[in-house]
Amino acid sequence: MGPTMHDVARVAGVSIKTVSNVINDYPHVRPGTRSRVEAAIAELAYRPNASARGLRSGRTGIIGLAVPALRENYFAELADFIIRAAEARGVGVVVEQTNGDREAELLAVSGGRRRFTDGLLLSPVQLGQADAALLDVQYPLVLLGDRIFGGPTDHVAIHNTSAARAGVEHLIAIGRRRIAVLGGTDGDPAEPSSASLRLRGYQEALSAAGLAADPALVRPCAHWSRAAGAAAVHAMIAEGVAFDAVFALNDTLGLGALRALAGEGLSVPGDVAVLGFDNIDEARFSVPSLSSVDAGKERIAEVAVDLLLERIAEKGPRQPPRTIQPAFTVVARESTGFPIAEV
């Protein structure tokens, strides 16, 4: 059996009531007393009973996170950053996977497990702009990703268009003129998505540089996977489409492109430069290392957790929703001709 509140009170030389007041962050505790109790808690490695605290405060100390697929590197890394950010703020995280299924996303929003969490971070891929009203729920909710802009919730999004444009400008700056884009689709302007927003940035960069857009260089991919990236590159080569760079709309597509180019006997970046998006850990360790647009996963996680905790603690009328887009950077590595320094 671990240390109890009685043990903390004994070591700190205070009453159990005082220990409880410190644990529940009541304001009317003298600083010296609070310090003694906190020191005793640290010395004994005492962990308060979350269930009991929840009964008193009406909170569980747990938040939910719903993402499409943890097998995808981006969402696995994002979830890791969110868990770390939450733990640093004294909060636990329950993660659920929706598999990009609309019904699963709806269940994540309305399901019974919401009783066991104080709020939810949701990253949808099937819920769209027409579903915005479904997010007007009676508990704290923060939206992640590139769907449902201007909805009723706080939203932490990526600078998809401007980040993609900066990435393509990087390729243009190193002399590339026939830039293929993997994963691009025009989509429905009323339904923004990572693909449509990043494709817009690609098109803006070409236009600003005076480069003609060639539809043969835009390669839709049903799945943003290594296999899809490799297949798109093999198809362009088989069709005789000339290209000197590849902009992959995520890093896994880019990793597939690297493999296909090697299999076709083309050098990177000599014959073809390759740029990805997301800056997953694996990008540093591919051969050659993959240049990538870093949309700021760690900062996204911190901002999302902070926004949710602010909503959980909010008293009185709900304040208007906020949309925050953390800064991005282009990380140049070997696949665009720059030495790698991180490994």
Domain boundaries, the chain: 62-158+297-326, 160-295+330-336
Give the rounded distance of the alpha carbon of 327 from its chain centre.
13
Percent of all residues in the chain with a pLDDT value above 70, rounded to a whole number: 91
The confidence band for 188, taking pLDDT boundaries of 50, 70 and 90, is low
pLDDT of 49 above 60? no
pLDDT at 51: 46
Per the prediction, the chain carries an average pLDDT of: 89
Per-residue burial over 175-207, b = 16 or more CB atoms within 10 Å of its CB, e = otherwise: ebeebbbbbbbebeeeebbbbbbbbbbbbbbbe
Note whether 62-158+297-326 and 160-295+330-336 share their fold: yes
Torsion angles phi and psi, residue 341, rounded to 5: -120, -5
Give the span between the Cα atoms of 95 and 77, in whole angstroms: 13
The confidence band for 24, taking pLDDT boundaries of 50, 70 and 90, is low
Which tokens sit at 12?
């700190």
What mean pLDDT is predicted for residues 7-23?
Answer: 85
**Which DSSP letter does residue 217 get?**
G
User: What are the pLDDT digits (tens) for 72-125?
Assistant: 999 999 999 999 999 998 899 999 999 989 999 999 998 766 678 899 999 998
Per-residue burial over 56-89, b = 16 or more CB atoms within 10 Å of its CB, e = otherwise: eeebbbbbbbbbbeeebbbbebbbebbbebbeee
pLDDT at 213: 92
Give the span between the Cα atoms of 340 and 138, in whole angstroms: 48
The fold adopted by the segment(s) 62-158+297-326 is Rossmann fold (3.40.50)
| Helix H or strand E segment including 194 | helix 194-208
Give the span between the Cα atoms of 49 and 195, in whole angstroms: 45
The CATH architecture to which 160-295+330-336 belongs is 3-Layer(aba) Sandwich (3.40)
pLDDT of 343 above 70? no
What mean pLDDT is predicted for residues 274-292?
Answer: 96
The confidence band for 339, taking pLDDT boundaries of 50, 70 and 90, is confident
Task: List the one residue out of 87, 68, 143, 128 whose CA is nearest residue 311.
Answer: 143
